[in-house]
Amino acid sequence: MAVELDVFVGNTIIMSEEVYQLWLDGYTVNDAVKVRMDGGALDEFEANADVVQSDTMDQYRTFQMCERLLHSPTKLANQLLFQIPPHRQATLIERYYAFDDGFVREVLGKKLSKGTKKDLDDISAKTGVMLKSCRRQFDNFKRVFKVVEELKGPLVENIRQHFLLSDKLARDYAAIVFFANNRFETGKRKLQYLTFQDLAFCAGQLINNWTVGAVDNMVEDMDVDLDKEFLQELKELKVLITDKDLLDQHKSLVCTALRGKTKAFNEMEANFKNLSRGLVNIATKLTNTKDVRDFFIDLVEKVSCPENFLSFHFVVWDRYMGVIKSCIFKMYHD
Amino acid sequence: MPGKLKAKIVAGRHLPVMDRASDLTDAFVEVKFGNTTFKTDVFPKSLNPQWNSEWFKFEVDDEDLQDEPLQITVLDHDTYSANDAIGKVYIDIDPLLYSEAASVISGWFPIYDTIHGIRGEINVLVKVELFNDLNRFRQSSCGVKFFCTTSIPKGYRAAIVHGFVEELVVNEDPEYQWIDRIRTPRASNEARQRLIFLMSGELQRKIGLKVLEMGGNAVVGYLQCFDLEGESGLVVRAIGTACTLEKLSSGSSTHTHPNTAPASNACNSPSKDGKEPVFGEDLPSSSGPPTPFRALPTSSSSPPPFSPSKPCSRQSSSSDTDLSLTPKTGMGSGSMGKDAGPLKTLLRQQTQTALEQREFPFFTLTSFPSGFLLHVGGVVSARSVKLLDRIHNPDEPETRDAWWEEIRQEIKSHAKALGCHAVVGYSENTNICEEVCILSASGTAAILNPRYMREGCLDIAGSDHRFEDPSPSSCGFCHIPYDELNMPFPAQLTYCFHCRRQKVPDVLFTTIDLPSDAAIAGKGCFIQARLCRLKKKAQGEVNATAISNLLPFMEYELHTQLMNKLKLRSMNALFGLSIQISVGENMLLGLASATGVYLTALPAPGGIQIAGKTPGDLNNEQHIMNIQKRINDTIAKNKELYEVNPPELTEEVVGSPIPEPRHRSRLFRSHSESSDELSELDLSHGKKDAFVLEVDDTDAVEDIHSLLTDAPPPKGFHSCNTETMPGIYNWTSALQMFTSVRVLRLSNANLTNQALNKIFTDLCENLLKSFYFKLRSMVPCCLSHLNFSVAVPEEELIQVAVTAVAMTFDKDQTQEKPAEKPIMKGCSEGEEQLQFPLELCADSSSVNSQSSSRISGVPESSSLSTRAASVDYGSFADRCSTWLELLRLKAHTIRRGSVKTSRRTQSLAHSVSSLEHSSPITEGRSRLLRSSRSFGGSSVSVVKMTPLSFLPGTRIVKYLGIINMFFIRETTSLREEGGVSGFLHSFVAEVFAMVRAHVAALGGNAVVSYSMKDCVLMENPNKNQCQCLINVSGDAVIYIRETDLEAIASTVGLSSTNSDGAT
């Protein structure tokens, strides 16, 4: 005696967020049933294992049928197959496009190609994220990348509109797309201490200030590619280390601005020349694609490490760089 | 040229990629009606084509308009090879043919392909211009409204209920035609879909014609079914109740019902003008003093059958049975004497005369305006086993007509035997296995108020005679219709616990819904009896005989089970009873579902007593005591669970469910002939008041165990199979309709009956458990209209399909009865909705009625009588064994105490659910759900679906027409689609989607009275193939939430343009 067929279909979609998460996480039906039963599903409504199994199967099937629609979330709103209340639609999409920070950190800056996809099992083993889930996340990155690649207008806005994501998630995706497009190297050992959110923040800054879109907001790829002209112009910053007068002027401006605001002030003041040289060197080399890729490594190696900046609290580092940045900008514009 | 159909193809979206090279599609559309076809231009290289075509115009007869669907085919243009079909849309344009329904069909329709399912959507506009046609001999019946709803639709009032209409159409099944050998399954399935659309159109038109001939303008309780007979053909048949409906205008006061023309009929003039010479035979039907008929033609124990003057000539063509049934009777004004005897005679006389001119005084309705139903006799049913390969002329309907005719006659005579002249809650169905076909019909024998037969409007004589009516509506329907001295079967009668004036039986089984004004105690509950019987494999006649012989036993056992389960829940009446028997190659399945309830007019049920056959055996004795204890505990628990606390019990019986041994009657379980036991049963009279289950063999033990295995629904859940849940009336608006299908493969070929029973019972119980679990987020909630259907698709397979709706209710209010509305009749808004304006019962002083929610303070008397009951089954005859389902109520009465405390029982006078009740909280929720649908820019309107005739918290303002759809889906890549479950899951979802899309295109926002009539699944996993047919129907409606309604109260005329008389 075996159940040959067992379906349950509601006029309005029937789903539990718990099961959806299990599905997204890549659990098989049997594992999901186990998790649910361990989680106390049995205590509810006199359920038994069969009932939980049947319910899980039904939901898994529903999710599988929805998956096609989730690939282009705008369709989800005007498809007719499932009647899904709007708040459920939002949950379905947001959860589907959510990712594990651990996983994305591994993929960040890598080419979203078939080659990378082949390595997903390693990443899965390393991060503890199930392979199925890795694939979904990777495909999501790739899908978003492909769609917004050719679009005009602001990156974050494009992602939000095409994938109906929340602002936060859209920004994260923008960072992922930006990293993937510029192939920033983030996998080196020295950068391991940086979380995805750290890098996403950096990406946000770069997108806002260094891309074409920062100047002109109606070109293709405006938020994805760095502003070539700007990078070219950065070369001229070399004067900051070659010209003694300018170096001193720069130093005094920075020191005035930072005096008493950082514990590392003395150290910084003492090493200003080295520091500045590191930064300016990075800036002037950004016309090289290879150097763009190494941007973050260079920042760590040539700026942070010599000065033992790792010991600095991140906030301090951020504040310092912010000032440096504004200074550089100010002077550049001058 | 009476009609012009216009169609415009606007756009497509989400089309599938048909050209792999470009990942795009060059789509164009063919629009076909009848034999005319138009094409749009090709819209190249797009998955979202914008055709924006001209208006394609079809000039057609209205007959064709009714029969044919509009066929839209989307194709991919291919320069070099044949164009590929993407999919099709069939649009039933019938809703456009009523003057007051939808005026345009406009919206996105899923493009459906039998192999690929839904493939994108197409936006279509359809209009119809009808020219007036005064041709008297027309073949069309445009304008007759159809309703699946089995009650008078909301917003209408039945001026006249004409009666039963039926029709049957036969065609060759395309799947069995010779051409099927050479064409693809896809082509064959498409031919089948198209044919069925055509046939149901034709059927509807023919039924419409009959309605027009009867002078009606609508069919209510329209029930259409398909019989896939196989080689012998494809049958589409339908039954319904013809009515003359009048639209209630929302603005008008209820007092001012137009007292329409036939007002004169209301008094003594028997208007015979409508009579046609054909019926000369039964002319003076009203003259003879009708005697109650007590005899079952098939029963031996009763007095010789009284042969009534044949009321109606049987016509030669049995498919045209109900022509010209203009009611014509010599009924009085309707006032009745107080004396029960003469009254009953008078009543019978009136009703009889009104009904007897009809060949079949049947009504497919299950709920009635109050006052319509006077008395209920009990369930009548008939079954007949037929051989399909014996049909002489398979292409003609005659043989099937004759079969149904035979069954209906049987039903009618059963009803007569119960002293009733009408059958309500009537339904018919078939079950086919190979060449054997079981035809079944069942209903509830009843006596109707003759006034409704001719003139639905009750306000002729005012309320005066209402006070003369000795049967208050809260208990009147329980009073026995048959003559006490000449009962059709032994039954135990007591005086009604409400009015103390009339006799009532101790148990009442019906197929109808609980009358809204019935007084009940506690809540109702879903009761199911399940049974499997093995059968030897056989062919032809031998097989048919074997099945015939098994049927009565099955029905008997199902009844026993039902009765026991009812007792176990301490209830005394069943509503919505439906018994389904399904045949397979080697087994028969029986499934009886009903909603149990405690009617306070009926005596309290006794307990169940277990008796061992071999006293002295200590072990056994101990065992029996254990079982007895468990049963008693269960009864006590159930009483609490369902809040069955009739006040008498607290006064007298002190709540003990254990019957005292001296008041008992016995129920004998018997696997052999039951006739032997009869004498024994009689001997036990006067001694027992409880059911006695005799534990004489292992079977009996099994059965008792299975009795106790039925788990009650978990906390927060209730379930029923009727329209409304007895005892719950404060619905909130959240609702979830669902369909669930489960198929079980029996691996062990050598199962015993007991093992099979267990498997089948577990299957049903587990399904229920699954529902509770899945819907747990909705508690407190009620699963209403639980509709189970069983099938044996193949040897070793058992299929159970369920459609139901989960509805939330406000828990906090369940204990209270709905507050008595200060609104008096005539001035309340709700009144406008009343189908029948006056519905006061004798206790009208305490009744403030607002629409379907009414309260009756009912005098309760406390004289408790104990009763005995016993189930027996009526005789069954020859090889075409039809069988009468009659409860043989073995009866006697013992008066325990003569205290007659009459009091108002507040807690008991429940009124049945009102749609008007809705909590503001959930209203808000649903509004949110509805309004924020515009997620992501575009919007799909929400379409609610329910098998019930109402949506809680809303008011239906417009009926847009009937939805009747038939789909076939097949696959040759079963594994890839997720196996049978994956295949069926997406198919069911697609069917829902297509129903919703059609409703939305009509401008509707809900489907009520939705039902899935068929779900035929054929699989062949070895070939990786599967095929499924689904037939669904319902009424498309527009509803407005009550809260919105109040806001726009008087301003909007609710689009009720008073455009009646669409005929």
Enter the tokens of residue B587: 């087994």
Alpha carbon separation from B339 to B336, B347, B471, B860 (Å, rounded): 8, 12, 11, 21
pLDDT digits (tens, 9 = 90+) for A190-247: 777 778 887 778 777 777 777 776 666 566 556 677 777 777 777 777 777 777 777 7
Confidence at residue A210, expressed as pLDDT on a 0 to 100 scale: 73
Confidence at residue A42, expressed as pLDDT on a 0 to 100 scale: 67
Distance (Å, rounded) from C-alpha B4 to C-alpha A228?
66
Confidence at residue B476, expressed as pLDDT on a 0 to 100 scale: 78
Contact A7 B988 (CB under 8 A): yes
Residue A239: CB atoms within 10 Å: 14
Question: How many A-B residue pairs are in contact by the CB < 8 A criterion?
Answer: 160
Residues 6+ apart with CB under 8 A from B173: B192, B228, B229, B230, B231, B233, B234
Distance (Å, rounded) from C-alpha B205 to C-alpha B67?
7
Choose among A7, A48, A164: nearest Cβ to B936: A164
Q: What average pLDDT does the structure give for chain A?
A: 79
Q: How close, in Å, is residue A43 to chain B by CA atoms?
A: 11
DSSP summary character for residue B82: P
Distance (Å, rounded) from C-alpha A14 to C-alpha B776?
11
Contact A16 B988 (CB under 8 A): no
Q: How close, in Å, is residue A143 to chain B by CA atoms?
A: 17
pTM, full prediction: 0.78
Phi, psi of B468 (to 5 degrees): -80, -20
Choose among B714, B769, B989: nearest Cβ to A9: B989
Contact B940 A78 (CB under 8 A): yes
The H or E element spanning position A174 is helix A167-182
Contact A3 B744 (CB under 8 A): yes
Chain B CB contacts of A7 below 8 Å = 740-742, 981, 984-985, 988
Ranges of each domain in chain A: 17-95, 101-188, 228-333
CA of residue B298 relative to chain centroid, distance: 28
pLDDT digits (tens, 9 = 90+) for A274-306: 777 777 777 777 777 777 777 777 776 666 544
Q: How close, in Å, is residue A237 to chain B by CA atoms?
A: 46
Phi, psi of B295 (to 5 degrees): -95, 135
Q: Does A146 touch chain B (CB under 8 A)?
A: no
Contact B992 A11 (CB under 8 A): yes
Q: Can you state the angle between helices A314-333 and A244-258, rounded to 10 degrees?
A: 130
Distance (Å, rounded) from C-alpha B839 to C-alpha A135?
66
Encoded amino acid at A275, one letter? L
Confidence at residue B23, expressed as pLDDT on a 0 to 100 scale: 84
pLDDT digits (tens, 9 = 90+) for B112-139: 999 999 999 999 999 988 776 555 455 6
Q: Can you state the angle between helices A131-149 and A86-97, rounded to 10 degrees?
A: 100
Would you say B711 and B769 are in contact if contact means Cβ atoms under 8 Å apart? Answer: yes
Chain A CB contacts of B116 below 8 Å = none
Phi, psi of A123 (to 5 degrees): -60, -40
Would you say B504 and B479 are in contact if contact means Cβ atoms under 8 Å apart? Answer: yes
Side-chain-side CA neighbours of residue B749 (13 Å):
5
Choose among A10, A79, A83: nearest Cβ to B942: A83
Q: Which of B101, B58, B13 is nearest to B1037 (CA)?
A: B101
Choose among B714, B736, B742: nearest Cβ to A45: B714
Contact B940 A79 (CB under 8 A): yes
Phi, psi of B1016 (to 5 degrees): -105, 115
Distance (Å, rounded) from C-alpha B65 to C-alpha B889?
53
Ranges in chain B, pLDDT < 50: 136, 251-344, 352, 455-470, 649-690, 814-938, 1050-1063
Chain A CB contacts of B924 below 8 Å = none
Confidence at residue A131, expressed as pLDDT on a 0 to 100 scale: 92
Distance (Å, rounded) from C-alpha B889 to C-alpha B505?
8
Contact B993 A90 (CB under 8 A): no
**ipTM confidence score:** 0.82
| DSSP per-residue string spanning A275-316 | HHHHHHHHHHHTTSHHHHHTHHHHIIIIIIGGGTGGGS-HHH
Distance (Å, rounded) from C-alpha B984 to C-alpha A6?
9
DSSP summary character for residue B489: S
Higher pLDDT, A86 or B451: A86
Contact B773 A8 (CB under 8 A): no
Residue B774 zone, left/alpha/beta (φ > 0; ψ -120 to 50; rest): alpha
Q: How close, in Å, is residue A73 to chain B by CA atoms?
A: 8
Choose among A1, A5, A51: nearest Cβ to B747: A1
| DSSP per-residue string spanning B41-58 | PPB-S-SS-B-----EEE
Contact B993 A80 (CB under 8 A): yes
Distance (Å, rounded) from C-alpha A11 to C-alpha B988?
10
Confidence at residue B303, expressed as pLDDT on a 0 to 100 scale: 32
Residue A245: CB atoms within 10 Å: 8
Confidence at residue B349, expressed as pLDDT on a 0 to 100 scale: 53
